């Protein structure tokens, strides 16, 4: 997902802001909270439907409670006659006047506006200060309540008399009006701190589920109530040919609702999938209707940025959709949606450069490979359950290693193995030596070398997910790894890293099953021989010649390789 803003593509879960201070127990507290933290994860198994998994959250740690409140106020406190800075109706917004949704909206709910605040306080050894602490907690509860944010106080105590401690906590609860069940908790440091903290952390987070549902439900309701509303757009001098139509605002609200529903139901995306589908269809239609503007040779700077924003959002919606289908254990639907997404966009890009299309398509297969690597095999079992046809004449689905071909109303082929998905991504950007990306939309890469280096990284990822567990192909694994190493070496040669390339060529020769891949071995030996000849490295040439000769393929050697051998002889 490296080509997208992390906030837009990560798995969603309720966001909690924490201020745990600098107490002796702070590090233990953080360790236990982190066990439930899925911040920046694109996949966590808690998303799987109908599994008995514990709820997960997104945590962000603040230096102080005041910092949390300041962050919340930056989103909540605004004058009644102005729009948010992340609204397309605000002239100061990057979305003004016809944008849909930026990554800042996602960041708002992932790191800026929590549904709950957990703050840690020390219980003074002198109970005379309890009234002051209780008043402070009451003030905090009240100020967060006006924003519909749930406040939790975690009291760290070293009181040895547990009955005395219980009485003091009861007084704090009475003064602050914080609930016993989900408002105030106590951690006694005189007990087994590791075990106690683990139990306490689980209790706190379990108590917050209803508060999370209420918070995100209220936000989703506000967005839903905006359907059909239209606001007066301030006059502007922006050079754009794209009009802010109700369709744009509808897509904006649909995306918001689908994401808020994921925050509300982090273990079941069934609620958000239909809305995501509708948002995707609306954005595709919008892109089709604005093709003449976006593909015009005289497109304005603003409209080019707008085009990139729309395209990015389309990919983001697709990522959430496909992850959603994986989570409800419908992998076939997920893979077919992925293929349909590629075909939809390629249809839009018919008037763009071929290289631009291939770069984008490569990125789509890369993030699919990431999902296929992370989603547990049990959730992908549906890929093995495709009914095999009784005869070729009645075949609707054809299974082959690493993929499925569907021969129904819409013919499509999908990749089912992560290694092959990575290789598919790499194959899309297999540039020839003269390729360059000058003059095309350099949204993802700034140079041809950057593309080549990225291809090398993809090939390395493809290699890392080998070998497959399938016994039928186990004997061919070394050959596939050898072919991957060959491609990496070839790219390294082009970008001038010859010595690194030689190391990869040498790795190929070490593969134990390469004796069944004699052609590849011969190519590698010839390539290394040619390199050493150019380097005038006679010692390394002499070491290679015996290996070439025993292949008994001397008559088929390339001209340059024959020349090399003859020059040594």
Sorting pLDDT into bands at 50, 70 and 90, what band is 402?
Answer: confident
Sorting pLDDT into bands at 50, 70 and 90, what band is 431?
Answer: confident
Q: How far apart are CA 263 and CA 279, in angstroms?
A: 17
Sorting pLDDT into bands at 50, 70 and 90, what band is 173?
Answer: very high
Condensed to tens digits (0 to 9), the pLDDT of residues 35-54 reads 999 999 999 999 998 887 78
Q: How far apart are CA 504 and CA 488, in angstroms?
A: 7
How would you classify the pairing of strands 58-61 and 412-415?
unpaired
Higher-confidence residue: 382 or 220? 220
**What's the mean per-residue pLDDT of the chain?**
90
Condensed to tens digits (0 to 9), the pLDDT of residues 275-324 reads 999 999 999 999 999 999 999 999 999 999 999 999 999 999 999 999 99
- Range in 96-105, 385-394, 477-486 the model is least confident about: 385-394
Task: Give the Å distances, CA to CA, from 183 to 117, 173, 201, 314.
Answer: 10, 8, 13, 41
pLDDT of residue 444: 84
**Mean pLDDT (whole number) for 57-84:** 89
pLDDT of residue 411: 79
pLDDT of residue 241: 96
Kindly tell me if the per-residue pLDDT of 190 is higher than 80: yes
pLDDT of residue 218: 98
Sorting pLDDT into bands at 50, 70 and 90, what band is 80?
Answer: low
| Contact partners, residue 527, CB within 8 Å, separation at least 6 | 489, 505
Kindly tell me if the per-residue pLDDT of 439 is higher than 70: no
Kindly tell me if the per-residue pLDDT of 559 is higher than 50: no
**Mean pLDDT (whole number) for 260-285:** 97
- Range in 10-19, 288-297, 504-513, 529-538 the model is least confident about: 504-513
Higher-confidence residue: 174 or 411? 174
Highest mean pLDDT among 11-25, 232-246, 539-553: 11-25
Contact 525, 486 (CB under 8 A): no
**Mean pLDDT (whole number) for 152-170:** 97
pLDDT of residue 45: 96
Kindly tell me if the per-residue pLDDT of 183 is higher than 90: yes
- How large a percentage of the chain has pLDDT more than 70? 89
pLDDT of residue 518: 75
Query: Which among 344, 328, 354, 360 is positioned nearest to 410, based on CA atoms?
Result: 344
Q: How far apart are CA 107 and CA 105, in angstroms?
A: 5
- Range in 142-151, 166-175, 207-216, 532-541 the model is least confident about: 532-541
Strands (E), 62-138: 116-122
- Would you give the DSSP letter of residue 4? S
Sorting pLDDT into bands at 50, 70 and 90, what band is 272?
Answer: very high
Kindly tell me if the per-residue pLDDT of 335 is higher than 50: yes
pLDDT of residue 392: 53
3-state secondary structure of 153: strand
| Contact partners, residue 356, CB within 8 Å, separation at least 6 | 349, 440, 441
pLDDT of residue 554: 45
Kindly tell me if the per-residue pLDDT of 555 is higher than 50: no
**Mean pLDDT (whole number) for 441-467:** 88
pLDDT of residue 515: 63
**Mean pLDDT (whole number) for 496-500:** 97
Condensed to tens digits (0 to 9), the pLDDT of residues 354-393 reads 888 999 999 999 999 999 999 999 999 989 877 655 555 5
Q: How far apart are CA 428 and CA 355, in angstroms?
A: 9
How would you classify the pairing of strands 150-157 and 184-188?
parallel
Kindly tell me if the per-residue pLDDT of 516 is higher than 80: no
Sorting pLDDT into bands at 50, 70 and 90, what band is 522?
Answer: confident
Q: Tokens at residue 189, please?
A: 């440091």
- Range in 65-74, 251-260, 295-304, 472-481 the model is least confident about: 472-481
3-state secondary structure of 524: helix
- Would you give the DSSP letter of residue 490? H
């Amino acid at each position: 997902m490296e080509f997208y803003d992390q906030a837009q593509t990560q798995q969603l879960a309720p966001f909690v802001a924490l201020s745990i201070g600098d107490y002796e127990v702070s590090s233990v507290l953080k360790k236990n909270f982190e066990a439930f933290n899925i911040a920046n994860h694109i996949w966590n198994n808690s998303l799987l439907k109908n599994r008995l998994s514990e709820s997960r959250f997104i945590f962000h740690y603040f230096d102080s409670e005041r910092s949390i409140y300041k962050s919340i106020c930056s989103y909540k406190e605004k004058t009644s006659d102005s729009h948010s800075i992340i609204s397309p109706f605000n002239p100061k917004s990057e979305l003004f006047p016809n944008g849909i949704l930026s990554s800042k909206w996602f960041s708002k709910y992932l790191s800026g506006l929590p549904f709950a605040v957990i703050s840690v306080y020390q219980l003074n050894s002198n109970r005379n200060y309890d009234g002051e602490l209780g008043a402070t907690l009451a003030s905090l509860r009240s100020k967060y309540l006006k924003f519909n944010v749930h406040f939790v106080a975690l009291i760290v105590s070293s009181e040895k008399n547990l009955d005395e401690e219980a009485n003091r906590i009861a007084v704090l609860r009475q003064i602050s009006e914080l609930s016993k069940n989900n408002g105030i908790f106590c951690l006694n440091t005189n007990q087994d701190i590791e075990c106690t903290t683990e139990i306490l952390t689980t209790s706190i987070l379990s108590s917050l589920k209803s508060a999370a549902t209420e918070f995100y439900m209220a936000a989703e309701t506000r967005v839903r109530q905006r359907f059909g509303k239209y606001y007066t757009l301030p006059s502007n001098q922006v050079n754009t040919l794209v009009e802010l139509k109700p369709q744009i605002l509808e897509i904006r609200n649909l995306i918001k609702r689908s994401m808020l529903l994921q925050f509300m139901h982090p273990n079941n995306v069934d609620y958000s999938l239909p809305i995501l589908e509708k948002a995707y269809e609306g954005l595709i239609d919008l892109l089709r209707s604005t093709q003449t503007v976006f593909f015009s040779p005289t497109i304005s700077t603003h409209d080019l940025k707008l085009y990139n924003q729309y395209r990015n959002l389309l990919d983001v919606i697709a990522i959430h959709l496909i992850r959603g289908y994986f989570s409800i254990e419908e992998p076939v639907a997920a893979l077919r949606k992925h293929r349909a997404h590629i075909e939809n966009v390629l249809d839009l890009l018919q008037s763009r450069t071929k290289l631009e299309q291939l770069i984008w398509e490569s990125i789509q297969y890369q993030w699919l490979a990431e999902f296929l690597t992370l989603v547990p095999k049990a959730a992908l079992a549906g890929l093995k359950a495709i009914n095999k046809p009784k005869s070729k004449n009645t075949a609707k689905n054809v299974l082959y290693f690493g993929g499925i071909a569907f021969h129904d109303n819409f013919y499509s082929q999908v990749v089912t193995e992560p290694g092959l998905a990575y290789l598919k991504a790499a194959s899309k950007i297999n540039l020839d030596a003269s390729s360059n990306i000058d003059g095309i939309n350099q949204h993802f890469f700034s140079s041809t070398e950057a593309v080549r280096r990225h291809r090398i990284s993809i090939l390395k990822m493809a290699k890392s997910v080998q070998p497959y567990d399938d016994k039928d192909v186990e004997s061919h694994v070394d050959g596939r790894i050898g072919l991957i190493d060959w491609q990496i070496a070839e790219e390294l040669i082009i970008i001038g890293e010859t010595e690194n390339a030689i190391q990869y060529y040498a790795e190929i020769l070490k593969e134990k099953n390469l004796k069944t891949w004699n052609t590849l071995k011969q190519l590698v030996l010839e390539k290394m021989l040619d390199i050493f000849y150019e380097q005038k490295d006679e010692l390394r040439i002499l070491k290679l010649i015996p290996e070439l000769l025993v292949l008994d393929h001397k008559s088929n050697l390339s001209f340059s390789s024959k020349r090399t051998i003859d020059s040594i002889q």
